[in-house]
Amino acid sequence: MPSDTRTTIYLKPKVYRALEVKAATTDRSLSDLVNAAVLESLREDALDLEAFDRRAKEPTQAFEKVFKKLRCGGTL
């Protein structure tokens, strides 16, 4: 198994302090918390890309046209 890669990140002081508190209260390391947050963000991106791919062939409508229909229908 490959070893972890060391890197430097810059956090706002309040973010770093909150991360330290969370690490202490959850008995996890700062690295574990940062890795988990980054992985969750990447998972969300992957889900967004999958949804985009699934809907790529759907017909599109201009925003102005949709807006006009909403106004004419009394929704707006």
What per-residue confidence (pLDDT) applies to 74? Answer: 87
Q: Please work out, in degrees rounded to the nearest 5, the angle formed at the alpha carbon of residue 47 by the alpha carbons of 33 and 42.
A: 30
Which pLDDT band holds residue 75 (cuts at 50, 70, 90)? confident
Residue 47 lies inside a defined structural domain of this protein: yes
Residue-wise pLDDT for 10-54, tens only, equals 999 999 999 999 999 999 999 999 999 999 999 999 999 999 999
Residue 21 lies inside a defined structural domain of this protein: yes
CB 33 within 8 A of CB 23: yes
Residue 57 lies inside a defined structural domain of this protein: yes
Residue 5 lies inside a defined structural domain of this protein: no
Residue 1 lies inside a defined structural domain of this protein: no
Q: Provide the domain count of the chain.
A: 1
What per-residue confidence (pLDDT) applies to 23? Answer: 97
Tell me the residue range of the domain where 58 lies. Answer: 13-72
Residue 67 lies inside a defined structural domain of this protein: yes
Left, alpha or beta for 4 (phi > 0: left; psi -120 to 50: alpha)? beta
Residue 29 lies inside a defined structural domain of this protein: yes
Q: What is the CA radius of gyration of the chain?
A: 22
Which pLDDT band holds residue 63 (cuts at 50, 70, 90)? very high
Residue 60 lies inside a defined structural domain of this protein: yes
